[in-house]
Amino acid sequence: MSDGEKIYVNAGQPATLNNGGGVLTDFPTLGEAVMVWHKLPSEQKKRATIKVIGGELERLHYGPRPRV
């Protein structure tokens, strides 16, 4: 994935995880929602979404933004 395809977000933003089965869970930070998403079974991950203020993420690079 090139840097132009990555979406950088603030991991401290509040987020809501839809676990792919319709269960919504609010988290105080996006980082916490991502950690729980990583623990989901593979098939469930495909359907799961994470929403943050400003919209839904389709892809996410979780890490520091490279310096230009």
Report the side by side order of strands in the sheet with 15-18.
Answer: 24-27, 15-18, 49-52, 55-56
Residue 8 belongs to some domain of the structure: no
Residues of the chain short of pLDDT 70, as ranges, are: 1-5, 7-8, 53-68
Asked whether residue 32 is assigned to any structural domain, the reply reads yes
Domain coverage including residue 29 = 13-56
pLDDT at 1: 53
pTM score, whole prediction? 0.69
Q: Give domain status of residue 1, yes or no.
A: no
d(CA 50, CA 63) in angstroms, rounded, equals 17
- Please tell me the predicted confidence (pLDDT) of residue 22: 87
- Residue 63 lies inside a defined structural domain of this protein: no
Number of domains, the chain = 1
| pLDDT given for residue 10 in this prediction | 74
In a domain, 19, yes or no: yes
Distances (CA, A) of 38 to 30, 35, 49, 68: 12, 5, 12, 29
Q: Which two tokens stand for residue 22?
A: 């319709």
In a domain, 62, yes or no: no
Token pair in block for residue 54: 């400003």
